[in-house]
């Protein structure tokens, strides 16, 4: 063993994404409070996808670009997690793991925050928010943040569904 080993790392954590050269724009945008998706520019396709890939999962085209998502989604399904031994999730129990359908089409795994379990409904409108990861993090695009979703009031009748409603004053969007 080398005599100058670095000090033992702090407790491992399992909520920290690893940003590589391809995903760095995604994490940098998340740190600024913007959700990015990928969109195919191939003729006859034009589909958006998530998680980010370097090619279109529909037509395999490599003509795929980053695009700012609206941040609006509806709840597809969820599961309330009561047991998770991987740090730091144990300190967040219970939490709501979910799959949401983004307005742009892609289905995304995420977490629902700011909503009691009894209030969750399939199809309920949601808006993206960002959880800043605290503590000592590996070198990355600070501040490292992960997208989560929170309930969002549905547009009033007669309004365009593309109208972005302001979030309630729950302090989630910073």
Least separation in angstroms between residue 65's CB and Zn ion is 11
Nearer to Zn ion, 45 or 99 (CB): 45
Least separation in angstroms between residue 59's CB and Zn ion is 3
Least separation in angstroms between residue 95's CB and Zn ion is 34
Q: Is 48 helix (H, G, I), strand (E, B) or coil?
A: strand
Nearer to Zn ion, 47 or 131 (CB): 47
Taking the C-alpha atoms of residue 145 and residue 131, their distance in angstroms, rounded to an integer, is: 5
Whether omega for the bond prior to residue 85 falls within 30 degrees of 0, making it cis, is no
CB atoms within 10 A of CB 74: 17
Nearer to Zn ion, 59 or 113 (CB): 59
Nearer to Zn ion, 16 or 59 (CB): 59
Task: Give, as one character, the DSSP assignment of residue 108.
Answer: E
Q: Determine the longest span between alpha carbons in the chain, in angstroms.
A: 71
Least separation in angstroms between residue 39's CB and Zn ion is 9
The footprint of Zn ion (CB under 5 A) covers: 40, 42, 45, 56, 58-59, 61
Structure tokens at 73: 């989604």
CB atoms within 10 A of CB 19: 19
- Check if the beta carbon of residue 29 is closer than 8 Å to that of residue 68: yes
Nearer to Zn ion, 61 or 165 (CB): 61
Least separation in angstroms between residue 151's CB and Zn ion is 32
């Amino acid at each position: 063993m080398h005599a100058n080993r670095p000090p033992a790392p702090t407790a491992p954590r399992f909520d920290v994404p690893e940003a590589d050269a391809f995903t760095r724009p995604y994490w940098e945008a998340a740190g600024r409070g913007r959700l990015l998706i990928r969109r195919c520019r191939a003729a006859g396709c034009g589909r958006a996808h998530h998680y980010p890939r370097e090619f279109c999962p529909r037509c395999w085209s490599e003509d795929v670009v980053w695009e700012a998502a609206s941040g609006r989604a509806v709840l597809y399904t969820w599961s309330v997690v009561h047991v998770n031994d991987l740090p730091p999730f144990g300190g967040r129990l219970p939490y709501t793991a979910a799959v949401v359908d983004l307005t742009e089409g892609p289905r995304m795994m995420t977490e629902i925050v700011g909503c009691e379990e009894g209030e969750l409904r399939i199809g309920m409108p949601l808006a993206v928010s960002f959880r800043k990861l605290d503590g000592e993090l590996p070198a990355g695009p600070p501040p490292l943040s992960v997208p989560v979703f929170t309930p969002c009031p549905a547009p009033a009748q007669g309004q365009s569904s593309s109208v972005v409603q302001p979030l309630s004053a729950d302090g989630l969007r910073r």
